[in-house]
Amino acid sequence: MASIQGSSGEPPQQFENRKQDHIRLSLDDTNEALGASGLDRIQLRHEALPELDFAEISINTHSLGLELASPFLVSSMTAGHPDGEDLNLRLAKACETRGWLMGVGSQRRELNDPSAAQEWKSLRAKAPKAIMLGNLGLSQLIRTPLEQVQALVDSLEATAMIIHTNPLQECLQPEGTPQFKGGFKALRDLCNGLSVPVILKETGCGFSGPTLERLKEVGVAAVDVSGFGGTHWGRIEGGRSQSGSVKSQAARSFWNWGVSTVESLELGLSMAPGYEVWASGGLRSGLDGAKVLAMGARIVGFAKPILKAALKGEVQLHQEMERMEFELKTALFCTGCGNISELQSKGIWSWVQR
């Protein structure tokens, strides 16, 4: 019997090895563009006399038509390998407990391996109340019938579907599929036919203004800008490429490629789109979250700090999530804002003068 091939034609073991490489290399600080996100250019106005009690602070919000206990999202990280199942379960249970959104790792393996759907069904059974978002790459979406994408949603019982776009990563990845022709049409068709909202997400290189403008016509419910300033997948794929190879050398040339998180967010919000604008890419604290929320982001995504904590254990994961919640509440308190709506309406952020 022929072995099951991944959606790019790669054997399952190679697929698993790649996903494990991604976890290992994403924890390496040399693959992180921290400091380039633009967050250091944003400051919040301090209120010395807040007419509030800290216990009154609320971080409730709303997104995708849902009332949420938190504006925080565990960004999509990993799936499709044995270690991923335990990690995703730990994340899902924590998100269920704390009211965070959770983006799952890519579901591409399920496209050609129906048994992979069991991973998601099992995850849903063990975290029945978690708000989970499905995930598929744009280069896979272009070649996947709507019914198959709907099946990915159904196996997870996903609240929404993330489509991630990663052109630089696909170019530099040894097994990459840099085939994006027809992407806008595929997105439009998906938005028109899928049973749940569609979220478009970059993977660390952000969005330009013209692209964000064009997305107004597509029908996406949200855009996660995932800007330059955090984990950089071009660097990671360069590290996976054979030393001295063309892709390894090219990765050095694209070391600082991307639109920063803050610039991408500002561009998206400035054009008053019909979709929500989410922020991720280099966010490492609840204060970072408060800054982008003050600018107007609807949801705030974290990846690396959550991954590091989750790999240590359940207790450490909850401690990290609690830290971020506490920091957000502290930022609200110290700006005199009782909730996120006030944070976004009082005009309390400004650019740092240099």
What pLDDT sits at residue 3? 30
Query: What is each CA distance from 121 to 20, 74, 107, 130, in whole angstroms?
Result: 22, 19, 12, 13
Task: Round to whole Å and give the CA distance between 221 and 200.
Answer: 8
Task: Round to whole Å and give the CA distance between 246 and 98.
Answer: 45
What pLDDT sits at residue 243? 84
What pLDDT sits at residue 272? 86
Closest Cα partner for 318 from 126, 86, 90, 94? 94
**pTM listed for this prediction:** 0.92
Task: Compute mean pLDDT per 10 residues along the chain, 354 residues long, and list them.
Answer: 38 62 67 83 98 98 98 86 83 98 94 88 97 97 98 98 96 92 98 99 96 97 97 84 89 93 98 95 98 99 95 97 99 99 97 86
Query: What is each CA distance from 114 to 26, 151, 194, 338, in whole angstroms?
Result: 28, 10, 20, 47
Q: Going from the N-terminus, what domains does the chain have, and what CATH number goes with each?
A: 13-19+52-348 (3.20.20.70)
What pLDDT sits at residue 81? 62
